[in-house]
């Protein structure tokens, strides 16, 4: 089902009464299915829907959208569009702003470091995986959108903002908001004849960002490859090559053996002999798609 073609027949001047100006445009169009009705025509011609602006006259808006089937059982329709300078625009539900509410929630999350960012370590330097009570700010928004909403809207489920966005008078930094809910309601038509559906969004804010954190540990370490014989100058850092070798640790008898657990390594991939809160490395990885939230209907 859908629009096959539309042809603009003519335009005529409507009534001009004091401060009111009126223009009427007439079209003939054909739909692809005899079951298509006024609702399908309105969805196929969003720029001619009620409250849409005139293409050239800035003070005129669509006041009347009147399709009439030429004869019963036919797919061809006559369409009359009336533009007027007296249109109560606030009656258009699509122009109503997003309504936001703010709530808070506390979730228990696995973590390798405390609220101050220091790794959880035993007195012997072993890493502890604990849990933290992490407060989240939950932003819930509701807005009426057009029934022919874009397909890409649903791709934002679970995504994290790649850009700074401003909501409720506050700027939320990139990487801290995750879209945890997208709900699109049933198609409705307002009393003024505008088709719409309700959009509900829920964004959850994480102060540390929505990233996977894991300690930098391995059964292997990186050892700088020795310089070639006869090389006089030190190898530049960018050209230095490394060998990935197994890590060995001493047991209680002082004998080197392969560890049963991965060992801490530093930023360069070298074994950390004595882990401390200062030299432990916590790696961060993006685990959610990062999309521009400025493209969402947040206002």
Q: What is the pLDDT of residues 91-150, one digit of tens each?
A: 788 888 999 999 998 888 777 777 777 888 877 777 788 777 888 899 999 999 999 888
Residues 157 and 61: their CA atoms lie apart, in Å, by 35
| Buried/exposed 49-76: b ≥16 CB within 10 Å, e otherwise | bbbbebeeeeebbbbebebebeeeeeee
Residues with Cβ within 8 Å of residue 219, at least 6 apart in sequence: 246, 247, 258, 259, 262, 263
193 conformational bin, left if phi > 0, alpha if psi -120 to 50, beta if neither? left
pLDDT of 199: 96
3-state secondary structure of 31: strand
Q: How far apart are CA 55 and CA 87, in angstroms?
A: 16
Q: Please, are residues 295 and 165 in contact by the beta-carbon 8 Å criterion?
A: no
The confidence score (pLDDT) of residue 79 equals 94
Bridge partners of 249, per DSSP, are 257
Contacts with 59 (C-beta within 8 Å, 6 or more apart), sequence order: 21, 85
The pLDDT score that the predictor gives to residue 13 is 64
CB atoms within 10 A of CB 272: 17
CA 172 to chain centre: 13
Cα–Cα dist 83/68, whole Å: 18
SS3 breakdown of the chain: % helix, strand, coil, rounded to 5?
A: 10, 45, 45
pLDDT, position 139: 96
pLDDT digits (tens), the chain, 299 positions: 577 777 877 666 655 555 678 899 999 999 988 889 888 998 889 889 888 888 888 889 999 999 999 988 889 999 999 999 888 765 788 888 999 999 998 888 777 777 777 888 877 777 788 777 888 899 999 999 999 888 899 999 999 999 999 999 999 999 999 999 999 999 998 877 889 999 999 999 998 888 888 889 999 999 988 887 777 788 888 888 889 999 998 888 888 899 988 998 999 999 998 888 888 888 888 889 999 999 999 99
Nearest to 167 by CA among 134, 140, 144: 140
Instruction: Give the per-residue pLDDT at 218.
Output: 92
User: Is residue 128 within 8 Å of 261, Cβ to Cβ?
Assistant: no
**204 forms bridges with which residues in the sheet?**
138, 178
Yes or no: say if 282 and 215 are a contact pair by the CB < 8 Å rule.
Answer: yes
* Residue 12 confidence (pLDDT): 67
How far apart are the C-alpha atoms of 199 and 11, rounded to whole Å?
Answer: 36
In three-state secondary structure terms, 271 is strand
**Residue 9: is it exposed, middle or buried by C-beta count within 10 angstroms (0-12/13-18/19+)?**
exposed
Give 164: exposed, middle or buried? Use CB within 10 Å, 0-12, 13-18, 19+.
middle
Rg of the chain on CA atoms, in Å = 32
With H, G, I as helix, E, B as strand and everything else as coil, classify residue 46.
helix
- The answer to whether 222 touches 242, Cβ cutoff 8 Å, is yes
pLDDT at 280: 86
Q: DSSP labels for 207-220?
A: TT-SEEEEE-EESE
Question: What global pTM score does this model have?
Answer: 0.61
């Amino acid at each position: 089902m859908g629009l096959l073609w539309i042809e603009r027949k003519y335009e005529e001047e409507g009534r001009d009464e004091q401060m009111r100006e009126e223009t009427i445009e007439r079209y003939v169009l054909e739909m692809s299915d005899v079951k298509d009705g006024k609702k399908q025509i309105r969805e196929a011609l969003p720029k001619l829907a009620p409250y849409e602006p005139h293409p050239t006259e800035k003070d005129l808006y669509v006041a009347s959208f009147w399709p009439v089937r030429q004869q019963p059982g036919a797919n061809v329709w006559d369409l009359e569009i009336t533009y007027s300078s007296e249109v109560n625009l606030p009656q258009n539900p699509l122009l109503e702003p997003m309504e936001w509410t703010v709530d808070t929630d506390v979730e228990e999350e696995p973590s390798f470091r405390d609220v101050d960012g220091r790794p959880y370590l035993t007195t012997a330097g072993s890493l502890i995986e604990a849990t933290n009570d992490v407060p989240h700010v939950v932003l819930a928004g509701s807005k009426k959108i057009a029934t022919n909403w874009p397909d890409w809207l649903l791709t934002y489920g679970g995504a994290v903002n790649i850009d700074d966005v401003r909501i409720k008078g506050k700027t939320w930094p990139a990487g801290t908001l995750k879209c945890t809910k997208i709900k699109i309601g049933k198609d409705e038509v307002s009393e003024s004849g505008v088709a719409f559906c309700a959009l509900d969004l829920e964004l959850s804010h994480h102060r540390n960002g929505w990233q996977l954190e894991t300690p930098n540990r391995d059964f292997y370490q990186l050892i700088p490859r020795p310089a070639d014989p006869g090389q006089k100058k030190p190898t530049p850092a960018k050209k230095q090559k490394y060998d990935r070798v197994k890590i060995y640790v001493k047991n209680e008898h002082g004998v080197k053996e392969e560890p049963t657990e991965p060992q801490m390594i530093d930023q360069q991939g070298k074994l950390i002999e004595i882990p401390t809160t200062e030299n432990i490395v916590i790696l961060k990885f993006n685990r959610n798609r990062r999309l521009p939230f400025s493209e969402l209907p947040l206002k």
